Chain A
């Protein structure tokens, strides 16, 4: 419960609440007016696709092609699914900067969650792919943190470091740090394999496995994570520890040694 309340202050929490409220209202409406249920849903869906298509034409088509078929500047989006859109656009990686480095970094998000959902609906309509996960899928209920740790060390730590602090890949590419990443986005990344990250589809890493990994990350890499020994020093291992030992350990001791060996102030006759 603590974790849920902590997430209440998350920037996207308001959006999630709004969406849930909308869904609830919509559901209630559908319940009250059973006659038009299927039709209304269909209309809403096709409306979202239309909106998404417009957004796509403006923001994405120049690289990914007018129909999402891909160009030399961007891969095909047919079949990547709504989850990929929600991840890429929801973390600000897309739209990519014009002069892109080795990989598209996490940036400020330019679309609202409603717009992202419309874009996702449009891309999903191009070909079947993973859907945006629900809270039930990535939430903390029923997760085994220890199992998640083992899975994380087997599947993720080689790139993202043992507590998700990130690491280097070839030629300037890198696996980003996982601090403060929305659980939903972690789930989507595992599902869709953004950029150079391999995907971990449900057949390889089951839904429960993904839930466990997210719970583990929440336990070892969040603002509330306990570091019993004190300063975490970046969680990077011996390099930062060595630097700390030299600068603060030996530095302090040399300062003390200077004091011990220095001459005491002399009395000066004025």
Chain B
């Protein structure tokens, strides 16, 4: 270090060591400026705001344990004869990938634990992302200015799915090999280029000797690298936008109420990392995941019933299982619709939820920033759409596990498949209608509560014999919270003649927008929230019960 540095710190006399280190860093990185803005940054307290942290921490756990696993795993498909400590596979031929995974599981002390933590954390990571995404969706947290962060999160979910898929394919066991075979069949179905894609991916015919090594670099380098970048971007945006909050006394669109990062959230969020890690470690101690030794090494002519992917790929499995076997042959070519259509619907299912924020902002035409979260009931159409989408997703999950449903509930697998085929179309519609009605019902109840007070459960008999329930008026906090939401008015098609009296041509997109807007905010789709006049009339008229 330079001499000026030493003289400088000496000249400052007896500054504590920590301060001197901070000074050193500030001189190079300007950390004081950064800390001024962020050290006492406010985060609101709500359990659902911690779902994202579950994902972040399981991601970190996956990276830590993954690095450990690379120290022992051999991403090679060379055939070897097994002579390790697991007896029921003695002398069997298997790829080095499989035998090194057995080595990790049976001969490396703690190797099995790390493998299980890695895999359990991956399942929790994806499940956490799903729930986090739904929280953001149902509370409308994706609205301006957070649309980009919604997309970042969505990409993380999709990349997480594929990182998971490439990861569980690495041990080259009978179950994952079947999954890879399925993927090969799906690629083959792509018109014109499918066969070429498959040959390039597998280095020739399936299974060949390359895919484990190729999946390995994709799994440990390419995808996690992109995900790490997205995670950092996601977090920077969270800090930059400041967290959203639920409506309540003192909470406005212009502030954020909560506890400071230093010290409360450092302790809470930092502590939560250890809590998540601890829970996943304990789960890995008590429950097996992916016991590849029981499944055996992959052979393309062997299979086990109940061949399913990990849960997050389950909906694609459902798609492929319930699709009828359509195939068109023409001019010496085959269009494998029975596989290709599901392959195309697969991204469509995901994209449907990803583009929703843009559709909603187009319909509302709202250009303002939103930092106060909606209660799901106050956005009935959005909530209904979200529930319909989840219904779609879960119907497909049922389809993906149809054989296990059949054996465990003594049903016919054919009947379940037909149920899923019908529910794929009917389920979301029903869910949409029902959810919307429930939302409207809840809005009505809120309105009653505001106007007539809370049901106290106390029954009073009036002098003339009538029984009434005593309603307690709400506190001002509650009145405010229940009426804080905004209600849009449905859009109208503007005047059909312009100011010069010339007939204006109404564009198709405008008509569509007005139609959607009516569907979103028309009389059928929201209950007008109580007005001050209504409230005053009722409270003054009846007095307090």
Contacts and interface: CB of A to CB of B under 8 A. Distances in A.
27 contacts: A146-B87, A146-B92, A149-B89, A150-B92, A150-B296, A153-B304, A158-B304, A158-B305, A159-B305, A168-B402, A168-B404, A168-B406, A170-B413, A171-B413, A172-B413, A172-B415, A228-B288, A229-B112, A230-B116, A236-B404, A238-B175, A239-B306, A239-B401, A246-B127, A252-B279, A253-B124, A254-B131
Contacts of B285: 230
A263 to B, nearest CB: 7
A239 B407 contact: no
A175 B407 CA distance: 9
Interface stretch (B48-56, B240-248, B455-463, B473-481): B48-56
A103 to B, nearest CB: 11
Interface in A50-94: none
B288 A242 contact: no
Contacts of A153: 174, 296, 299, 302, 304
A122 interface: no
Interface of B: 45-51, 53-54, 87-92, 105-106, 112, 116, 120, 123-124, 127-128, 131, 174-175, 268, 271-272, 275-276, 279-280, 283-291, 294-296, 299, 301-312, 314, 401-404, 406-407, 410-415
A170 B509 CA distance: 49
Nearest to B93: A150
A163 B272 CA distance: 38
B306 A245 contact: no
Secondary structure at the A interface, as helix, strand, loop or mixed, is helix
Interface string A131-160: 000000000000001111110011001111
A183 interface: no
A237 B128 contact: no
A242 B45 contact: no
Given A162-B295, A163-B294, A170-B414, A261 B289 contact: no
B288 A233 contact: yes
Nearest to B82: A146
B88 A253 contact: no
Nearest to A261: B47
Contacts of A260: 47, 50, 268, 271-272, 275
A154 B301 contact: yes
Contact of B279 (A145, A238, A253): A253
Contact of A242 (B106, B112, B310, B414): B310
A177 to B, nearest CB: 9
Contacts of A167: 305-306, 403, 407
Contacts of B299: 153
A69 to B, nearest CB: 32
Nearest to A221: B294
B283 A248 contact: yes
Contacts of A241: 123, 289-290, 310-311
A165 interface: yes
A119 to B, nearest CB: 29
